[in-house]
Amino acid sequence: MQRLFFVRFTTQPAAQPVGLRTPGHSFSCGKVVVKVRAKLWPVLGIFAPMSTTESKPTLRWRVAQYLERRWWQRYLRGKSPEEYLSDKKAYWARTLAELGWKPVPGRKVLDAGCGPAGVFIHLCEVEAVTALDPLLDNYEADLAIFRRANYPNVTFLTQPLEEAFAQDTTFDAIYCFNAINHVSDWEGAIDALTAHARIGTRMLMTSDVHRHKLLLPIFKALPGDALHPQQHGPEAYRSALTQRGWRIEREDVLRVEAIFNYTSWVAVWEG
């Protein structure tokens, strides 16, 4: 019998992140503790037995996608959808202003990894937005805050970020907020973003990046941060962008935490 895992959230604060070692062990998952117990698969059909040909990142991504859905359900429990969306729109306006980023009327933009309340909710009446996320169908089924019909000016695509769509589709600007470390194929995702740029396209990307080089290989090997299957330091982001023809205009640390810096990059594609 294959050994598979059942994942359960607790409401206790996360302890020091440690690796998954034994059934019943706790590990950090964002701001919660995840209990992992040996159970029979599948759980809600999202997990599948890992075959000899399936890569660990793919399985890790599937787990992260399941946890992402559960995280949103728990986070929004008891919240007013109207109040949440109002606060979120104000957050997006404030964040863009702090980064000196001004929306441009009619500009064709991509919100990559948009989630259920991405920057598209703030931009949809100003810029021409295409919003992409693999969990859009799940969000619409699970969460009261997200209904595609509420955003008639937005084109929604339900697909992973790393799957580039119509190759002749390019954008004037690309937003990728807190999504690039959620993907299964990090290099492929950055390639896909670049494929949708043209000379002069500006990109605003944010991600948690490791502060401590000692912890980085541990988090890469073990699911200490289960919501984020990709674990990288700031140097990796700078290198990945510049190697693909992006010129980084500014890099800002937006939030400092014990293990991660929540970091933003504004970059221009020069080909």
The full DSSP string for 50-90 is --TTS-HHHHHHHHHHHHHHHHHHHHHTT--HHHHHHHHHH
Pairing of strands 171-177, 197-210: parallel
pLDDT score of 32? 35
pLDDT score of 35? 37
Closest C-alpha among 48, 235, 77, 84 to residue 142: 77
Closest C-alpha among 69, 263, 271 to residue 176: 263
Tokens representing residue 213 in the block:
């080089």
Partners of 251 in the β-ladder: 265
Partners of 26 in the β-ladder: 35
Give the CATH H-level superfamily of domain 81-269.
Answer: Vaccinia Virus protein VP39 (3.40.50.150)
pLDDT score of 31? 37
Backbone phi, then psi, for 184, in 5-degree steps? -80, -40
SS3 of residue 9 by DSSP: strand
SS3 of residue 225 by DSSP: coil
pTM of the predicted protein model: 0.74
Taking only the tens place, the pLDDT of each residue in 183-214 is 888 899 999 999 999 999 999 999 988 766 76
pLDDT score of 249? 97
Domain range annotation of the chain: 4-76, 81-269
10 Å CB burial of residue 60 (0-12, 13-18, 19+) is middle
pLDDT score of 123? 98
d(C-alpha 266, C-alpha 249), whole Å: 6
pLDDT tens string, the chain, 271 residues long: the values are 332 333 333 333 333 332 322 233 333 333 333 333 333 233 333 333 322 233 344 676 677 777 778 889 999 999 999 999 999 999 999 999 999 999 999 999 999 999 999 999 999 999 999 999 999 999 999 999 999 999 999 999 999 988 877 667 999 999 999 999 888 888 999 999 999 999 999 999 999 887 667 655 555 665 555 555 667 778 899 999 999 999 999 999 988 877 778 899 999 999 9
d(C-alpha 194, C-alpha 267), whole Å: 11
- CA 161-167-171 angle, to 5 degrees, is 70
- Taking 3-state DSSP, the helix, strand and coil percentages for the chain, each rounded to the nearest 5, stand at 30, 25, 45
d(C-alpha 46, C-alpha 41), whole Å: 9
Question: Within 13 Å and on the Cβ side, how many CA atoms surround 174?
Answer: 33
